[in-house]
Amino acid sequence: MTKFLPRLALLSCLLAGSLFAQYDLLLKGGHVIDARNDIDGLKDVAIKDGRIAAVADSIDTSKAEKVVDVSGLYVTPGLVDIHVHVYAGTGMKGAYSGDNSVYPDGFSFRSGVTTMVDVGSSGWRNFPDFKQRVIDRAQTRVLSMLNIVGKGMGGGEIEQNLDDMDADATAKMAKQYPDTIVGVKCAHYAGPEWDPVERAVAAGTKADIPVMVDFGYFREERPFEELVTKKLRPGDMYTHTYLGRVPLLDENNKPRPYLFEAQKRGVKFDVGHGGGSFWWFQAVPSVKNGFIADSISTDLHIGSMNTGMKTMANVMSKFLALGLPLADVVRKSTWEPARQIKRTDLGHLSVGAGADVAVFRLDKGEFGFLDVRGARNMGDQLLSCELTLRDGSVKWDLNGRAGTPWQEAQGSTP
Amino acid sequence: MKSLAVVIGLALAVTAAAQTPYDILLKGGHVIDPRNDLNAARDVAVKDGKIARVEANIPASEAAKVVDVSGLYVTPGLIDLHVHVYAGTGARRGYNGDSSIYPDGFTLRSGVTTVVDVGSSGWEQFEDFKDRVIARSKTRVLSMLNIVSAGMTSGPEEHDTSEFDPEATAKMAKKYPGVIVGVKSAHYRHPDWTSVEKAVEAGTLADIPVMVDFGSNYPDARPLADLLTKKLRPGDIYTHCFAGNRDELLYETGKINPGMFAGRERGVKFDVGHGGGSFRWDVAVAALKQGFPPDSISTDLHVGSMNRGMQTMIRTVSKIYNLDVPLYDVIKMSTSNPANQIKRTDLGHLSVGAVADIAVIRDERGTYGFADSRGARYTGSKLLVSELTLREGDVVWDLNGLAGVHWKDVRERRRGQGRGRRRGQR
């Protein structure tokens, strides 16, 4: 009996501690950037039961069971990467519905990403398989835009088959999973017809979700200008903004006026960096002269992960190198993409929101950034992800900030 | 006339390439190549995917491409002796499925060019593993077969002695020599020696080493000291050596188990195998203080370790480096030592003629936190960062674009020219 008393006492102390603590976790001393709530300054962030419980100038450390010192760091909503390919594991060679995809969790949290949108790796025919194989098993929140091609991004002729582009079936599947399917993707089309874009838009209209277009071949029969000024609806997205063959710049290296018209109409431009879709010679003059992509995203896949793209934090750092303020870069990676996919529950730190949080260190120095052709641009700032929370639990902790010094850890010998 | 100029231009270009003896030259770096006892400023030239020359001051004019690596360390591509990469099968709990990850997104960015999957597959599934992962990876993936025929299922098979088949295991190993480089015994939860004994039997039949994850701790029925001094052969490998789960550190006395020293004396090798639950700072600190460094540094990469204290190979190497082990030694523990352990002496060094698997590493100073597998933090002052990785002479990772060209110097391919590559066929 006496043997158990101390344990009981300890247990009740612990229970009382957690019961009485108002918050589970307190991120103390950081600089919060939360575009939705117009916050760009020093704030403490408290979390309870997986949700944001308080954001205030100073929250008493005694109110939290665990306090993590994040002074000198930036606290942002968990990033929303709206262009990835994560339909891995099918064994399909040379396809984004297979070997070209990666599993999400090894790439998301370590870069501050808590939500990913797989854009078009699966279509309505194989979405259920994608869901059970990846979405349901990932710790990252994985959302999907269905490819207008029923078989998804299977490569080669599969993606060129107009007979497998069915707006009704696509919209029907989207409506069946409204929490997960957030858009329709049209991609990689080589032919001269507008049909893939038109059917994607038809599916998007039926399901009341946006469309994202990768324009495939850029052909005279279907000019890019017409895509963004006429074919796409307000709220639809063009991805791969700074791809080499997009007609962005005029003879004087100035963005063409129709681009601003398109943005004014409400068409959104997404970065979608990828293995072939971000060229410095397009991005530098465009951004310098005011044509700036709305959302920053990676186009994560096996061909981009080890080349110029690398990680979401690296792609964001490229936009710092292009001269964008940090607050804009964060907004374009959180609240802006969340709005684009109509998931306004995500991408911010409002009280009551799910506690998906990223903590970044902003290093100063000399950093090189490659584009997709091996062209290098230099920057003097680099974002590194220090800490990532998903629904309030620590999923990444680069420097062990949420840990205890090893000498004090339970069971250690001197 | 115009085409004549093109032809001449082409001829000149071809001649230039033909006249440069080397494809790529890493210039100005400090080479650490323990196998060749080299720890000095050297340039490294690569030709046709092989190391062509390692010397001070190789002229830049002799290479088609020169990469300035001054201020950086040039080492053999790292060899991670303990990973789980048998992904994609859909098996929910097993390391022959969802607990594994595909290698290329974790290796090259961390300086690793060779990994050894230890026991995710047994002999039954090895050929599926080979087709599904080994043959499709840029990383060189080698394997130790699990003594469990069904592999690392995380289910009852791993503890069922009727699943242990030394003959079938050795037969499969002999069919793929050099790819199957060992036999794994792991996770065994019963107090008998069957798992270890059968693995050693298979290893002896196929003339390859055995790696042991010692499973549940039975200090009386099968003590660690007996494993290391009686059961394992010289050259066999004890992994998770700083786990603290099986009396590696005797907590009552604060001493490293004398059996560990005795095992090392006999030639048993000790591997880190960090993992999600197998690296404790108190054990590692005590071991290094008491003169027991690991023979090989490895990650035990899998879904449960990648986002926790382990993180990456280069950070795992940094951990040991911060325990006052010289840089030369930690590189040895991640290159030539593991290569020797798996008898792949063609790997893990920069000898002329060897495959040009190379890591370029920055040695940073600052304040860094390193969590162990319990979340206990060690604060260190040194961090190794993987800058550039070459696999068979190709640049497969380039953190800061060292091998790139300034964007203004790249010939612009302007809009509207040609139809471009068809993205779907990439």
* B142 domain-assigned: yes
Residue A14 pLDDT > 70, yes or no?
A: no
- Average pLDDT, rounded, for chain A: 95
Q: What is the pLDDT of residue A412?
A: 53
Query: Is A405–B379 a contact, with Cβ atoms under 8 angstroms apart?
Result: yes
CATH classification code of A21-76+357-407:
2.30.40.10
Residue B392 lies in a domain: no
Residues A181-220 pLDDT 10s: 999 999 999 999 999 999 999 999 999 999 999 999 999 9
Token digits for A62?
A: 């005694």
- How do residues B278-304 score in pLDDT, each as one tens digit? 999 999 999 999 999 999 999 999 999
pLDDT range class, residue B418, cuts 50, 70, 90: very low
DSSP bridge pairs for B80: B115
- What confidence category does residue B323 fall into, taking pLDDT thresholds of 50, 70 and 90? very high
Comparing alpha-carbon positions, the chain A residue that sits nearest to B397 is: A306
Note the ipTM here: 0.93
Q: What pLDDT sits at residue A6?
A: 47
Give chain B's domain count: 1
Q: Which region among B3-12, B141-150, B279-288 has the lowest average model confidence (pLDDT)?
A: B3-12
- Has residue B338 been placed in a domain? yes
| CATH number, residue B328 | 3.20.20.140
Q: Which residue has the higher pLDDT, A10 or A32?
A: A32
Kindly state whether A72 is in contact with chain B, defined as any CB-CB distance less than 8 angstroms. Answer: no
Report the alpha-carbon distance of residue B43 to residue B52 in Å, rounded: 11
The mean pLDDT value for A342-370 works out to 98
If 0-12 CB within 10 Å is exposed, 13-18 middle and 19+ buried, where does residue A262 land? buried
Can you count the helices (H) and strands (E) in chain A?
10, 16
Answer whether residue A383 shows pLDDT above 50.
yes
Give the position of tokens 């078989």.
A151
Residues of chain A with Cβ-Cβ distance to B424 below 8 Å are 153, 155-156, 159-160, 187-188, 190, 216
Enumerate the residues of chain B whose CB falls inside 8 A of the CB of residue A284: 407
Does pLDDT of B420 surpass 80?
no
Structural domain contains residue B346: yes
**CA A92 – CA A101 distance, rounded (Å):** 10
Q: Does B425 touch chain A (CB under 8 A)?
A: yes
B38 domain-assigned? no
DSSP state string for A174-212:
HHH-TTTEEEEEE----SS-SHHHHHHHHHHHHHT--EE
Q: Stretch B343-349: mean pLDDT, rounded?
A: 98
What radius of gyration, in Å, describes the C-alpha atoms of chain B?
A: 23
Chain B segment 277-306 residues within 8 A of A by beta carbon are 280-282, 285-286, 303, 306
Contact residues, A window 276-335, toward B, CB-based 8 Å cutoff: 276, 280-281, 284, 302-303, 305-306, 308, 310
Numbered ranges of CATH 2.30.40.10 in chain A: 21-76+357-407
Cβ contact A148:A184 at 8 Å: yes
Print the domain residue range for B217.
77-350
> Cα separations (Å) of A300 from A121, A213, A308, A372?
12, 16, 11, 13
Q: Determine the residue of chain B that is closest to A155 in CA distance.
A: B424
Q: What is the mean pLDDT of chain B?
A: 93
Q: Which of B92, B371, B409 is opposite residue A403, by nearest beta carbon?
A: B371
Q: What is the pLDDT of residues A267-297, one digit of tens each?
A: 999 999 999 999 999 999 999 999 999 999 9
Stretch A356-380: mean pLDDT: 97
Residue B165 lies in a domain: yes
Mean pLDDT of A241-264: 97
pLDDT at A131: 98
Asked if the Cβ–Cβ distance from B372 to A367 is below 8 Å, we say: no
How many Å apart are CA A30 and CA A345, to the nearest integer?
23
Residue whose entry in the numeric block shows the structure tokens 């062509």: B52
Report yes or no on B28 lying in a domain: no
| pLDDT value for A189 | 97
> Pick the residue with more confidence: B4 or A38?
A38
Confidence at residue B409, expressed as pLDDT on a 0 to 100 scale: 87
pLDDT above 70 covers a percentage of chain A that reads 94
**CB-CB under 8 Å, B426 with A276:** yes
Whether the pLDDT of residue A4 is over 50: the answer is no
Q: CA of A412 to nearest chain B CA: how many angstroms apart?
A: 6
> CATH assignment of A79-340?
3.20.20.140
Tell me what the mean pLDDT of segment B235-249 comes to. Answer: 97
Would residue B17 count as lying in a domain?
A: no
Mean pLDDT of B347-352: 98
Region A16-42: mean pLDDT is: 90
Reported as a pLDDT band with limits 50, 70 and 90, residue B109 is very high
Of residues A105, A217, A310, nearest to B307 (C-beta): A105
The answer to whether A368 faces chain B, any CB pair under 8 Å, is yes
Interface residue B232 vs chain A (CB under 8 A): no
pLDDT above 90 for A26: yes
> Is B168 strand, coil or helix?
helix
User: Average pLDDT in the B365-376 region?
Assistant: 96
